[in-house]
Amino acid sequence: MANRWKSDLREDSVTDEAIYLNRRALLGGMAGVGFAGGAAAASEMEPNSWEEITGYNNFYEFGTGKEDPARHAADMTVSPWSVRIDGLVDRPADYAFEDILSKMVVEERIYRLRCVEAWSMVVPWMGSELADLLELAGVQSNARFVAFETLLRPAEMRGVSSPVLEWPYVEGLRLDEAMHPLTIMATGIYGRDIPNQNGAPLRLVVPWKYGFKSIKSIVRITLSESEPPTSWNKANPREYGFYSNVNPEVDHPRWSQAQERRIGGGLFSPKIPTEMFNGYGAEVAGLYEGMDLRRNF
């Protein structure tokens, strides 16, 4: 596939986490640091710790507190697991997770994660390009959008008893966004299997969009001609648009998006400026050429 970035790292060449945090020279070659011209220099991309990444996140199916997912997500059964791929594809089927892994090229990607709540992290993901998974199912020529659906299992997900959102959680991308080389399906962090609270066993990662677009614990992917509904847009379309690209020039109605707080720096650490498209503009700005990004927020 044109413009694809290939890593020389595979599942059998994972670096120990303690060593990982000090290997600055290797970070310079990672995709999250840059397809040409993208994101920050490697010196600005030191990943957050395992504890920060796995202990502070949003997964409302397990509660609305930042620590709730780490406390309660162990209740979720993640094996066996399959993903239904249907809609405008040549080979609709329930794809077993193990079968997906056996056919995908697993790479290491260090990406910024910017939450719509104005906090951020840097996460070392292991995963595969979403484009490869979609091509496995065979994308039909009239497909324009990709919809995603999270597991809904009330007996294991205490948070779904709350009407904070309409369940199951759903998200969507335009097909060109989904097929972009930066868009991955993550299966691990720091070379370990992705923890339940971070979206095990398979989650989307779209690094130039706010974090809620990167839907967790995916059980269904549907290709369609029309724009699919998304959970936060259904809940409050004034605050959460379909695109949800990181944009410091378009504030959330209740807070500024011009700056962010990096998790791990302390509650009173100085905020840092937020970059357009979360620093990935050189790679993805062309997807939105001619679009009014204030209207299509």
Residue 114 assigned ligand-binding role: no
Q: Is the dihedral of CA 58, 64, 69, 75 positive or negative?
A: negative
First CA to last CA distance, the chain: 29
Query: Could you give the CA distance from residue 173 to residue 209 in angstroms, rounded to a whole number?
Result: 10
* Gap between the Cα atoms of 71 and 81, Å rounded: 22
- Residue 209 known to bind ligand: no
Please tell me whether 215 is known to bind a ligand.
yes
Looking at the DSSP assignment, which residues form a beta bridge with residue 221?
85, 148
Asked if residues 143 and 225 have their Cβ atoms less than 8 Å apart, the reply is: yes
**CA 21 – CA 239 distance, rounded (Å):** 36
Beta bridge partners of 112: 122
Q: Which two tokens stand for residue 240?
A: 């959460």
214 is in an annotated binding site: yes
Q: Are the C-beta atoms of 221 and 83 separated by less than 8 Å? A: yes
60 among annotated binding-site residues: yes
Residue holding tokens 């990935």?
A: 280
CA-based radius of gyration for the chain: 18
> Nearest 5°: CA angle at 30, between 25 and 202?
135
Has 203 been labeled as part of a binding site?
yes
User: Is 95 annotated as ligand-binding?
Assistant: no
Annotated ligand binding at 166? The verdict is no
Placement of tokens 């996140």 in the chain:
57
Binding positions for Mo-molybdopterin are 57, 60-61, 115, 150, 198, 203, 214-216
Binding positions are 57, 60-61, 115, 150, 198, 203, 214-216
